[in-house]
Every structure is written in structure tokens, then in C-alpha cells.
Structure 1
């Protein structure tokens, strides 16, 4: 590593940085002295997020289901960063059989193809330097067969764990972060009714991010914040799929059809 790079602050690129867990990552990393590259499709909110931070911020307004926009962020990753946080994502308020296939494809592309492309763009320079890493935002739902959303997050978990095994010997850490219910705008934006979820299951975004960064620095391939979420995942691995399906159906928080 050159003396010039060693003397400069580390750089983190965060997708979906304008709100929720993404903006919590931005706040935490800014406090640690990172230079930030903030990516989101909402340019106005992105500017507001950057202006609220005491950090050197570069803004990239990009819709990461549009190929040209993804290509631009890929190139920024290839230019060299120290941490990539693949956070951008969304869910659907409707079930698998009642969601337009175009919407399902868009979600799948954002959660899988974009994560794949940006991760593979960022890793080579990290491996060459022997430092840095990636945090891919998955979900506790990735351990349960509940929807196409959970299926896409299962892919993120599998992909991240595989990447971690390959990059760990080169001192590069890849972590799949699996949050549970987190207090952000995610559910409201998706039109989901979350009133059935008990209050004790919720975590604050800043607490989730603190666990994620701690586990990433410990080179853990999987980060599940909070003992309650860890318990849910552990029990889920023991229960029969049929029982899990009935439990998920009874706890369905999507709006009901009229």
C-alpha cells in the first residue's frame, strides 16, 4: 500500500444511503472518519443526508435497477474503495401470486444482480491491497421460505458466505448482515402494515449498524444483530418447513385485499 493511500482516510461506498439502515451506516462511518460515497435514486434526500454529516461526501444519484446507473457505480467501485455497503433494497406489499412479474424482477435484480456486480467490482483492488471488505444487507427472512423477498435475501446470505471463504485468506472480509424488524421507513414505503409485530422485536437502525460493523471487523461472514433475532433464526432451523409456513401465514403483515 502506498504512503499516500495509507495517509488518506478510508473510503466507504453505501447504496440506499438516503434513509434507513443506509443513512445509519453513513452516520456511523462519518463519525469514524471515513470519506463517503453515497448512492441513492432519491437525489434530494441524498443531498440532505450528506449535508447533515461531518464527512467528505461524494454523491451519486443512481437507480440500481437501471443498467447504465449500475455500470457507473461499478466503475466507482473499481476505482478503489475500502468498504462497500450493499444496502439498497425494497419489498412488496402483495404476495407472490398477486405481484406483477415486472416488480418481482426489479426487486430480484436489485437484491441479487446489483449486489453481485458491485461486490465483484470492488473486490479485486481490495484483494490486491490485502485490506477492506463488503457488507451485504440480507435479512432474517432469508432463513425462511416466505416470499420472493426472502428468497432474494437467502441468495445474499449464500453469496456473501461463499465470497467470505474466498477472500478471507487475502485479508478481505465479506459479511452478510441479517437484520430483523428495524425502525426505518422501509415498511411504510412498501405499504406494509406492521401493527401485528410486537414492540419488543424492533431494533433501532443505529444499533443494527453498530453490530454489523463490529462483526465485519471480526471477519464474521454472518451478522445477526440482537439475541432475539439470533433466537428466531436458530429456532427456524429446527422447525419443520410446514410449521414455519403456517406461522408466517398467520403473521402476514401485508395489506389484505378488499
Structure 2
């Protein structure tokens, strides 16, 4: 039975990953800041799916917490505490800072950057090291279609995740380990509510359901797909963003 480690596992996309992987008989290591909420989720999953669930509370904007998660990922053989090697890392933790960059709180921006960039780099490094040593495994980094837009620091962070994952996938060729960047569009989760972003005026066709996004992402991981963009409409949107003049993309964001 494989073990999956998921960051940002207490809500939204991360929670959906946890349930789908547990249903597929994966043991889990759940990472998030809210220890109480993680424990509730873990108890529910253990009771419903009968898999082992380890809770690892961590704030991924704090280097020492990231180091603790990296140490868990570095486990190559089952240790005395019964911790098994992680075969799938899902770097999902992330959030949008809903403010203008100029004149905004730079500490908030740095904290978000630490979660969505620094932590992804450190945890991917730890996972790739033990996975290549064992000759198998997969890393799934959650990026976004926003990586192709010009909507501030969130887009910049997700663009880094996308490009980083592509480079990692190249380096991992022939090792038995894969890297996939998940690039979803708008989804029905807590993400926008937590960020204080009101998208209620958008039509329903613009939204994706988290369960379908996760199912598509995991299927792409199994196939070794490097860029996973669930849904035809967002694959078309991504294609248009790639070929559109960047001046047009910037003009759309500035309107």
C-alpha cells in the first residue's frame, strides 16, 4: 500500500486529494496549519476508508516547519515509528493575497511566497531524493491556469511552480519518478472565500468541481503527464493564453 503526503490537506483541493487517495487504499500523511481540523479529517478518513493516516501540523511559511515535513519525506525505509516512505507528494498548499502589491503588506507577500515557492522547492527536493533512491514515486505540484496570466504575485508564484515542475520532470527522466504540474481553473472550494475574492458574478460554466479536478490530476500522474489541465474549456483557455500577445494579456488584467 503506497503512502501519499498532501500539504494543505484540511480543506478544498487538498481535502479532496486526501479522500480520493484514501478511497484508492493509499495511506496518508496530512499536512496543514490547523492541527485540530487535521485530526478531525484524519479520524473521519480512518473510519471510512480503513487506511493509516498520520497528522503532521505545519505552517509552511516557517522554515523549521518545512524542515520537519522534508524530514518525513526523506524517509527511505520504514522506520522504528512505523513511518513508511512517501510514494506520492502532493504540494497543494497555497493561497492568494488579495491586495495591490504597490503599497500592500510586503510581509504578507513574502509569507505567501514561502508557502507556494520555497516550500514547494524544499519538499520536492526531499521527496525526489528518496524516490530516486528507491526508483519509484511521483511529485504533483499544484500550479494554476493563472500561471499564464498577469494577475499579480499569485500568478508569478504559480508560474514558478509550473516552470520548476517542467524542469524537474526533465531531470527525473529515466529514474522511475515523475513530476506533474496541475493547472486547474476556477473551482468550487474555500479558496476564493478565504482570499476575500468575490467571483459570484461569473457564470457557472467557468467553475470546476474539485472531485473531477482531483480525479483527472491523479489519472495524469499515473500516465506520467507533465502538465495536467483538467477540463477541455481550460485547456482551450490555456492554449489561447500561450499564443496571445503578452500585451493583450496584460491589457485584459488591467481592465
- TM-score bucket of the superposed structures, by smaller chain: over 0.9
Query: Does 1:218 pair with 2:235?
Result: no
> For the residues of structure 2 that align with 1:37 and 1:241, how far apart are their CA atoms?
40
Deviations 1:150-198 (A, max 9, x none): 0010000000000011112111110000010011001101111112322
Map 1:52-131 onto structure 2 (within 5 A).
52-53=44-45, 54=49, 55-79=51-75, 80-131=85-136
User: More deviation in 53-62 or 94-103?
Assistant: 94-103
Counterpart of 2:173 in structure 1 is: 168
Query: Does 1:28 pair with 2:20?
Result: yes
Counterpart of 2:40 in structure 1 is: 48
SS in 2 for 1:170: coil
SS in 1 for 2:218: helix
> For the residues of structure 2 that align with 1:99 and 1:193, how far apart are their CA atoms?
19
Shift of 1:220: 1.0
> For the residues of structure 2 that align with 1:191 and 1:98, how far apart are their CA atoms?
18
Task: Indicate conservation of the 8 Å contact 2:150/2:253, yes or no.
Answer: no
> For the residues of structure 2 that align with 1:98 and 1:147, how far apart are their CA atoms?
13
Shift of 1:131: 0.9
1:141 to 146, 167, 174: 146
Deviations 1:22-71 (A, max 9, x none): 00000000011000000000112111211221221000111011111111
Deviating 4+ runs (over 6 angstroms): none
RMSD value, Cα: 1.0
Query: Does 1:203 pair with 2:213?
Result: no
TM-score by length of structure 1 reads 0.91
> For the residues of structure 1 that align with 2:180 and 2:173, how far apart are their CA atoms?
11
TM-score by length of structure 2 reads 0.92
Q: Mind listing any 5+ residue stretches in structure 2 that lack a counterpart?
A: 76-84
Task: Indicate conservation of the 8 Å contact 1:92/1:99, yes or no.
Answer: no
Query: Does 1:232 pair with 2:237?
Result: yes
Counterpart of 1:187 in structure 2 is: 192
Q: Mind listing any 5+ residue stretches in structure 1 that lack a counterpart?
A: 1-8, 251-258
